Structure 1
Amino acid sequence: MLRTRLGIMMFLQFFIWGGWFVTLGTFLSQNLDATGGQIGMAFSTQSWGAIIAPFIIGLIADRYFNAERILAILHLAGAALMFGLYRSQDFASFYPLVLVYMILYMPTLALVNSVSFRQMRDPSQEFAKIRVWGTIGWILAGLAISYLFSWDGAEAIAGGALRNTFLMCAIASLALGVYCFTLPATPPKADTRKGGLKEILGLDALQLLRDRNYAIFFIASVLICIPLAFYYQNANPFLAEIGVANPTGKMTLGQISEVLFMLLLPVFIHRFGIKITLIVGMLAWAVRYALFAFGDAGEGVYMLLIGIALHGVCYDFFFVSGQIYTDARAGERFQSAAQGMITLATYGVGMLIGFWVAGLVTDHYVTAEGHDWYGIWLFPALFALAVLLLFLVAFKDKDSTSTKPEASRT
């Protein structure tokens, strides 16, 4: 029963995110006449949310309020903001609302984990069974947009149907906000008051950068977020503009792939080690963007579908394995701080730069007919390849994640 309750929470949490974020670029360009730079600004709100989230969680939520209560309040406020986005008629009124929304939403990603972990006896065995419902929620949101409501067809987009995604997510946010008040009590831990700002933001873990190999991995993680931003910002508008049917539904292949490759990841790391795993992840980014550059909505549509399906390799083999590598290098003393540091660096700083670059590149390749997508996708393909080559030359840690931190310091 408890697992079901937590699964519903995770389902709604990611249904909300997947229900509007995937089609955001298409909506802004087609319905609000936003430029590439403006679309980049809108997507960058995720990064600002990731940067500010540690303050909300570490300085407020973890210290003074039950996690389930502040989770409820944030989602209720999010429902009101989503309704405001639904009614926005231009980018000037849209942007402030989406900025405030993401500042409130990003902390909820940590809060749902906190609520889940505190109810589990063995999180290592139980959490994956709860978290998978979040991925299912994201997938079903995309399928509903494409196949249930048909909001992302060419005529529907032109008629402004994608605006309904915000109303759908407002209703889901309202439901989750009310539902969170029924979740098991998750009071603050007594020892959370002892940590300072440096510990909350993960800055204690900066000493990991003394390890040359980890510093190289850290830099590569920030840099690879630049091509990552191109996918989030441009994939759905690209598929819609070139005439791929049901683009949002087809993009759920990426989440399905993510689940499958998540199961393969431990086996791959054990067999080939962390370096090869990270290299495969970075190579997948270059390959997927090359497939996007050369694919089309006709005979080349299979290239696009393969590129979407590579999302599991791209994300799991680099970002998830990177979290595992960070955990192994940090040791018990800095585990939480190190995860906070790498999240702040990637989803915060890295993707903030990435969305800005993606906006500039997209604007550069605007044409009378729409966009020169070959040029747009070739940029992140070559960028990811360059990051891979630098990593390949500089990263010398051939050991698996079982290596103790002390043994790897230089």
Structure 2
Amino acid sequence: MPYLGVFLDGRGFSSSEIGELFALITVARIAGPNLWAVLADKSGRALKVLQLGALLTFCTFCLVLFVDGFWALTLSLALMMMFWTAILPQIEGLTLNCVRGNASRYGRIRLWGSIGYILLTIFTGKMIDMFSSEAPIYVGAIVLFSLFAVTIFLKEPPREKSTDLQQASIWNKINTSVFYTFLLSATLLQLSFGAYYGFFALYVLDLGYSGQATGWLVALGVLAEVVIFLQAGKLITLFGVKWILVTSILLTALRWYLLAVFASNPIILVLSQVLHAFSFGMTHAASMHFIHHYFGNKFQSHGQAIYISVGFGIGGAIGGYGAGYFWQQGQGAELTFTLAAMAAVLSTLSLMFVSSKRM
């Protein structure tokens, strides 16, 4: 994903077309998670849903190797994204069930995804320098096939018995001011990420850094994420979900502002990437902790699906489209990241209306 903008730029797409494509494929994250969650919750076979999603994600992603043009690429990537939404909630659910919601144990397991991300972003950045902007597609295909192969060796956890009372309680959980506020904050946060996901790699390359340097910068952000995951459980227990989110999202706003104004300074650029520990690492850990304890084991797949479809789907789509509109082939980079910072500030303000005891 960090190099999708580079790949599309190499295929001759304009910044507005890249933003539109990001928005369209992100729309697939609105309906997809809920459909898969219903299937997982009703069948009680989350692992089978995960395996099917991984297989179909790999197959549809490989279409990118054979098609060209805006709509053909958009369709193949949108299908890939829709099937991808079957994967993350099931992995999160299986993990949280295994560790019984323990935030410290969850963080220690989740950091391995970050380690893999670090290695692959550095490697892919080097491949771009050595070969071309097509390299991320081949790397992605290999990774997705490997993911499917690994899921074959996982085991299905015991299914929790359901009751009519449990079935009714999920709607009581959804239809609350606390959950609505949490969704609004998540949507604004993901909206702010539009410029970063769509254009950060291009931005850094335009500033004169090499593909490998870009890979190291992305990897640095994830390395910071690894460190924070090791401490996430303790911090959440000590300060609570609300204040962890408030602090982390405020630091995210600072991060986008630094990118808007001072990205040409290598030290500031490095500092902004270190803040990824909070803008993704802590916000993700705190959000997963909230959803797991708010919905319980039975409906955590459904709760995560709503979170992903609204926050990442709607927020991501608006953020991607808006970033493409304002980017203007890099001329609007400062404005785009400034607007992202403002969205993060609004995300923080929305949480101030929620009592710490309710999160």
Shorter chain as normaliser: what TM range? Answer: 0.7 to 0.9
Secondary structure of the residue aligned to 1:32 is coil
The 3 A distance-change label for structure 1 pair 340 and 206 is same
Q: Which residue of 2 aligns with 1:171?
A: 142
**Offset from partner CA, 1:53-98 (integer Å, 9 cap, x none):** 2212422x45458544443443333333232212333223211100
Counterpart-to-counterpart distance in 1, 2:93 and 2:295: 21
Higher mean displacement: 185-194 or 278-287: 185-194
Say which of 230, 233, 254 aligns to 1:287: 254
Counterpart-to-counterpart distance in 1, 2:291 and 2:45: 29
Counterpart-to-counterpart distance in 2, 1:116 and 1:336: 12
Letter in 2 for 1:355: G
Letter in 2 for 1:254: G
Segments of 5+ residues of structure 1 without an aligned counterpart are 1-20
Secondary structure of the residue aligned to 1:89 is coil
Q: Which residue of 2 aligns with 1:349?
A: 314
Say which of 61, 67, 80 aligns to 1:82: 61
User: Are 2:188 and 2:347, in contact at CA under 8 Å, matched by a contact in 1?
Assistant: yes
Say which of 181, 191, 206 aligns to 2:174: 206
Say which of 60, 65, 76 aligns to 1:97: 76
Counterpart-to-counterpart distance in 2, 1:218 and 1:31: 35
Counterpart-to-counterpart distance in 1, 2:106 and 2:134: 34
User: Are 1:283 and 1:385, in contact at CA under 8 Å, matched by a contact in 2?
Assistant: yes
Secondary structure of the residue aligned to 1:107 is coil
Deviation at 1:330, TM superposition (A): 5.8
Q: Which residue of 2 aligns with 1:186?
A: 156
User: Are 1:78 and 1:170, in contact at CA under 8 Å, matched by a contact in 2?
Assistant: no
For the pair 1:162 / 2:133, whether they are aligned, the reply is yes
User: Are 1:44 and 1:351, in contact at CA under 8 Å, matched by a contact in 2?
Assistant: no
**Offset from partner CA, 1:309-332 (integer Å, 9 cap, x none):** 111111234343244345556678
Q: Which residue of 1 aligns with 2:289?
A: 324
Say which of 336, 342, 351 aligns to 1:382: 342
TM norm structure 2: 0.83
Q: Which residue of 2 aligns with 1:55?
A: 35
Q: 1:291-306 maps to which residues of 2 (within 5 A)?
A: 291-297=258-264, 300-306=265-271
Deviation at 1:116, TM superposition (A): 4.7
Letter in 1 for 2:207: I
Counterpart-to-counterpart distance in 1, 2:56 and 2:326: 34
Letter in 2 for 1:380: A
TM norm structure 1: 0.74
Over the residues paired in the alignment, what is the CA RMSD in angstroms? Answer: 3.5
Deviation at 1:265, TM superposition (A): 3.5
Secondary structure of the residue aligned to 2:197 is helix
User: Are 1:292 and 1:304, in contact at CA under 8 Å, matched by a contact in 2?
Assistant: yes
Higher mean displacement: 260-269 or 93-102: 260-269
Counterpart-to-counterpart distance in 1, 2:167 and 2:6: 39
Q: Which residue of 2 aligns with 1:27?
A: 7
Secondary structure of the residue aligned to 2:175 is helix
Deviation at 1:138, TM superposition (A): 1.3
Q: How many residues are matched?
A: 356
Secondary structure of the residue aligned to 2:209 is coil
The 3 A distance-change label for structure 1 pair 166 and 321 is same
Question: % of aligned pairs identical?
Answer: 19
Counterpart-to-counterpart distance in 2, 1:277 and 1:116: 22
Q: Which residue of 1 aligns with 2:276?
A: 311
Rg larger for:
1
The 3 A distance-change label for structure 1 pair 198 and 56 is farther
Deviation at 1:128, TM superposition (A): 4.0
Deviation at 1:241, TM superposition (A): 1.9
User: Are 2:33 and 2:309, in contact at CA under 8 Å, matched by a contact in 1?
Assistant: no
Deviation at 1:307, TM superposition (A): 1.0
Letter in 1 for 2:188: L
Counterpart-to-counterpart distance in 2, 1:271 and 1:127: 16
User: Are 1:250 and 1:305, in contact at CA under 8 Å, matched by a contact in 2?
Assistant: yes
